[in-house]
């Protein structure tokens, strides 16, 4: 699919007759990258789909107020980030359980081959990522798996680059410790 | 996959992590991306976008009854044109004070006799019928003449 610039998509969106068409293009353009992020955060495919749909519904409602001094992608990513954090919080509250139980629930996806094709070490890595606090996990996912720059993550999360670097390095150390512990079991 | 510059540091602080391939191990359900955009479209409201002027119109419509109440209140409390008008700019106390000042100006330069003449004559106490009869008898006033002169 041909990539459209933010300007092209927004111009089309602002014309009454092509509003839905423009939004359809926008969804098609960004759904892949956003899904990868949401899936890493939420892991369950059905829940990931629900979260991503909410992301785009919120984008639909807010696109009129979108300020063009930011990138459309960063703005969508920010909505996705917030939706994932909200979803994980809601999950914890709804189940009235500890973080360990939530991790256990999220990990069930990793045991099903139709949802996860990674080997044992990749499953171990994913479990280690799940032990991180939600926001640290989001930072690690964006930096390590999605390879976003600190400046981009800063625009998405509203956190300073310095704080993000610290958070990322702490996350890396925690994951390394977890992987080492798993290996020695 | 090409690694970011920070990855040299990563190999040093997290050798195990840095050896794990970064491929995405999560399976995307078949046809997900083909269907997803359509599913999102299906959840979007089909109604026309709210015109920019509509919220403005709504605010105006809400403000109108308030404005009407204010105007009605002003109309009911405004001074009645049929009532006698007070001197502009003078309330009751100011009017009394002006009268006193005006009188003082008038009386200036008058002699004591002239002032005494201006003083109201004290009213004579009312007489009873018997007293009045005695008075007319004493002064020799003919009552018939008196009645005719009235």
For A116, list phi and psi in degrees, rounded to 5. -140, 125
Could you tell me if A147 lies within 8 Å of chain B, comparing CB atoms? yes
B43 has a pLDDT exceeding 50: yes
pLDDT for the residue numbered B1: 45
Query: Å from B41 to nearest chain A CA?
Result: 7
- Of A84, A88, A74, A75, which is closest to residue A150 (Cα–Cα)? A74
Cβ of B27 within 8 Å of Cβ of A116? The answer is: yes
Joined together, the tokens standing for residue A3 give: 């990539």
Q: Is A1 helix (H, G, I), strand (E, B) or coil?
A: coil
Burial A54-64 (b: 16+ CB within 10 A, else e): bbbbebbeebe
Chain B contact for A87 (CB, 8 A cutoff): no
Residues of B with CB under 8 A from a CB of A: 1, 4, 10, 13-17, 20-29, 32-33, 36-37, 39-41, 43-44, 48-49
Mean predicted confidence (pLDDT) in B16-22: 91
Select the residue of B16, B20, B37 nearest A24 (Cβ to Cβ): B37
**What does the pLDDT read at residue B126?**
75
Question: Which distant-in-sequence residues (6+ apart) come within 8 Å of B26 by Cβ?
Answer: A36, A39, A40, A43, A45, A115, A116, A117, A118
Nearest CA-CA distance, residue B85 and chain A, Å: 59
Alpha-carbon span A147 to A142, nearest angstrom: 6
- A20: which 2 tokens? 């839905």
**Token pair belonging to B128:** 């009873």
What residues of chain B lie within 8 A of the CB of A31, using their CB?
33, 36-37
Taking all residues of chain A, what is their mean pLDDT, rounded to a whole number? 90
B25 CB neighbours in chain A (<8 A) are: 116-119, 122-123, 126
From chain B, the residues in CB contact with A174 under 8 A are: none
SS3 for chain B, per residue?
Answer: CCCCCCHHHHHHHCHHHHHCCCCCCECCCCCHHHHHHHHHHHHCCCCCCCCCHHHHHHHHHHHHHHHHHHHHHHHHHCCCCCCCCCCCCCCHHHHHHHHHHHHHHHHCCCCHHHHHHHCCCCCCCCCCHHHHHHHHHHHCCCHHHHHHHC
CB A135 within 8 A of CB A85: yes
The answer to whether the beta carbons of residues B4 and A145 sit under 8 Å apart is no
Residue from A46, A106, A171, A179 to probe the interface with B (highest B Cβ count within 10 Å): A179
pLDDT more than 70, % of chain B: 63
* Chain B residues within an 8 Å CB radius of A176: 13-17
Under 8 Å between Cβ of A74 and A152: yes
Tokens standing for B100?
A: 């006193």
Half-sphere exposure of A170 (CA within 13 A, CB side): 13
Average of per-residue pLDDT across A87-109: 75
Comparing alpha-carbon positions, the chain A residue that sits nearest to B9 is A169
Candidate from A16, A27, A121 with C-beta closest to B49: A16
Q: Which DSSP letter does residue A141 get?
A: I
Q: Do A40 and B16 touch (CB under 8 A)?
A: no
CB B48 within 8 A of CB A16: yes
ipTM of the complex: 0.83
What's the whole-model pTM score? 0.66
Strand partners, A116: B26
Kindly indicate the confidence band of residue B105, based on its pLDDT and cuts at 50, 70 and 90.
Answer: low
Size of interface A-B (CB pairs under 8 A): 93
**The dihedral formed by the CA atoms of A22, A86, A96 and B25, expressed in degrees to the nearest 10:** 70
Q: Which of B9, B44, B52, B55 to mutate to test the interface with A (most CBs of A within 10 A)?
A: B44
Max CA distance (Å), chain B: 150
Question: Each residue of B44-99: pLDDT tens digit?
Answer: 987 655 555 566 777 888 888 889 999 988 888 887 766 655 555 556 566 565 55
Distance CA(B105)–CA(B98), nearest Å, equals: 11
Least-confidence region, from A22-36, A82-96, A126-140, A150-164: A82-96
Mutate to test the interface with A, among B20, B23, B35 (most CBs of A within 10 A): B20
Q: Find where tokens 């059905």 sit.
A: A46
């Amino acid at each position: 699919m041909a990539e459209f610039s933010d300007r092209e998509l927004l111009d089309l969106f602002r014309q009454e007759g092509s509003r839905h068409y423009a939004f359809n293009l926008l969804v098609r353009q960004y759904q892949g990258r956003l899904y990868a992020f949401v899936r890493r955060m939420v892991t369950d495919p059905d829940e990931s789909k629900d979260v991503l749909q909410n992301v785009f519904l919120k984008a639909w409602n807010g696109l009129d107020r979108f300020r063009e001094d930011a990138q459309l992608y960063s703005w969508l990513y920010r909505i996705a980030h917030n939706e994932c954090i909200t979803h994980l919080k809601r999950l914890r509250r709804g189940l009235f359980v500890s973080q360990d139980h939530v991790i256990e629930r999220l990990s069930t996806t990793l045991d099903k081959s139709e949802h996860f094709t990674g080997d044992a070490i990749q499953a171990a890595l994913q479990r280690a990522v799940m032990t991180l606090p939600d926001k640290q996990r989001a930072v690690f996912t964006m930096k390590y798996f999605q390879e976003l720059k600190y400046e981009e993550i800063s625009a998405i999360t509203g956190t300073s680059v310095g704080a993000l670097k610290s958070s990322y390095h702490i996350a890396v150390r925690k994951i390394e410790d977890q992987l080492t512990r798993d290996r020695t079991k | 996959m090409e690694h970011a510059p920070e990855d040299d540091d990563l190999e040093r602080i997290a050798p195990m992590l840095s050896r794990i391939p970064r491929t995405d191990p999560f399976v995307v359900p078949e046809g997900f991306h083909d269907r997803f955009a359509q599913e999102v479209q299906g959840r979007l409201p089909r109604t026309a976008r709210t015109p920019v002027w509509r919220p403005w119109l709504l605010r105006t419509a809400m403000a109108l009854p308030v404005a009407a109440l204010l105007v009605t209140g002003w109309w009911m409390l405004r001074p009645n044109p049929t009532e006698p008008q007070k001197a502009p700019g003078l309330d009751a106390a100011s009017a009394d004070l002006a009268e006193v000042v005006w009188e003082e100006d008038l009386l200036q330069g008058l002699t004591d006799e002239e002032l005494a003449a201006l003083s109201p004559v004290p009213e004579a106490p009312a007489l009873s019928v018997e007293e009045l009869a005695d008075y007319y008898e004493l002064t020799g006033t003919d009552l018939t003449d008196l009645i005719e002169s009235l």
